[in-house]
Structure 1
């Protein structure tokens, strides 16, 4: 797709950009904001961050700030999924998990990214697993943080009550931001997306996920139980389970130090296991194309 120059905004933790994909406007956050990478970045592949239900790419701000504080500079992309935040969604419906995964691949194609690591939170984990099943050659390692699993595994009412109870353990700043993001999405789109999320079954064809995975769950997570998270890790062909006892559901927001520690260590090891080299890095870097608005 041809892209003309558009607006972009430096935020300190990332660069806010706009593009058009499948005829709809998309907001995304790109780090490092300067666009400059070291000769040997800590990760050779780019990193794509996938937010959860009702959220936006902004939920990754504390994670990206923590990476910047440590001077960890690697190509990172955090979009607002279609229908979330300020990205335009389908006009009459919300997308299911597989459709969202295919949309992400379209974004990767537009950015010139052949292969990337994935990190998802909550519903974003379902999107990441769908992407790995359907487009395995595009994926390096996967970090699944607080992974939801659909209604076949957990009844819908438990998700609803868990979402309410989880606010007890999250920071007030996160809860306020979450309410703002939910308002941006709107009740109809939110309800339809919940239905699509619950209809999805990440355990279906789970053996087709060949990428190494790290499953992280907070000990105070009221949405995803320890049993479900451990079960997911056990069913994945190549997965490690990491519990963080003092954290809740939004680890990437409220516990960025622990999250960045675990994520970077795991993905660096995954690159060694997969034999990813500097030449792979050159082929898979985030293209600095001009965004549109």
Structure 2
């Protein structure tokens, strides 16, 4: 498994942060966010098996198998516990990791979690990607095309099928770690009603809305995303839990950030 690792010196008592890319993409997609986080925390951005520069298993891995591979990689490189940030498919992988390997997970960030149960068909997912295209950075198209070519269309389709069939809503009530859900108002792949439901299902979840952002916030708005992440990532474990715990009588906490430029 290939990974990009930051080299900036950071305080030794800070949790490492692992960035997990979305469907068909690679760690290149996470580089803008990694650059903003690197002065503050040790950052790892990896390519899941079958994608980017990592080895390509003959069979496409399921979401659970991708999570097991991530756990094995963490253990192999000596990461005992980390904060993990996932985009799209990466969120589903992190849910599986938190449930199957909880000792490795201190806290989680889900950015643009998918798929919406009302839009599980392949066609609906493709339509959503087309709808958000005008609101993403144009250079992302070249990154995506290169990454899709490396992984191959067949692996993309098989992984998408596993992703669509993986109902994370049924699993979130069992995720014990503090979790931050981040959503952009122009993310037409993931409806607001879906992310509010997910945040409400998480025992220690909180929802943050970034006006004007689409699905690839980690690539298009890394500075604004980092401003949201750092207070959560740098908080002591008990503080992260307190900041993300639901208010009495409410299934979620909502923060709306300023309009993005």
- Pairwise TM-score range, normalised by the shorter structure: 0.7 to 0.9
Contact 1:126 1:149 (8 Å CA) reproduced: no
- The one of 211, 219, 234 equivalent to 1:268 is 234
Matching residue of 1:108: 74
Matches within 5 A, 1:214-233: 214-233=180-199
Contact 2:31 2:45 (8 Å CA) reproduced: no
Matching residue of 1:288: none
Matching residue of 2:109: 143
TM-superposed deviation, 1:90: 1.6
| Unpaired segments ≥5 residues, structure 2 | 242-261
Give SS of 1:167's match. Answer: helix
Matching residue of 1:30: 5
- Measured in 2, the distance between the counterparts of 1:128 and 1:78 equals 14
- The one of 23, 32, 38 equivalent to 1:62 is 32
- Measured in 2, the distance between the counterparts of 1:97 and 1:88 equals 17
* Greater helix proportion: 2
- Measured in 1, the distance between the counterparts of 2:35 and 2:82 equals 20
Normalising by structure 2, we get a TM-score of 0.87
Matching residue of 1:155: 120
Structure of greater Rg: 1
Deviations 1:33-62 (A, max 9, x none): x6xx34x35x72111110000100111111
TM-superposed deviation, 1:199: 1.1
- Measured in 1, the distance between the counterparts of 2:112 and 2:240 equals 25
- The one of 222, 229, 245 equivalent to 2:211 is 245
| Unpaired segments ≥5 residues, structure 1 | 1-25, 276-293
TM-superposed deviation, 1:158: 2.1
Give SS of 2:14's match. Answer: coil
Deviations 1:114-145 (A, max 9, x none): 11111000110000111111111211110110
Contact 1:133 1:206 (8 Å CA) reproduced: no
* Paired residue total: 240
Contact 1:217 1:243 (8 Å CA) reproduced: yes
1:87 is the counterpart of 2:54: yes
1:206 is the counterpart of 2:172: yes
- Measured in 1, the distance between the counterparts of 2:236 and 2:24 equals 30
Give SS of 2:5's match. Answer: strand
**RMSD, aligned α-carbons:** 1.7
Matching residue of 1:77: 44
- The verdict on how the C-alpha distance between 1:270 and 1:183 changes in structure 2, with shifts beyond 3 A counting, is farther
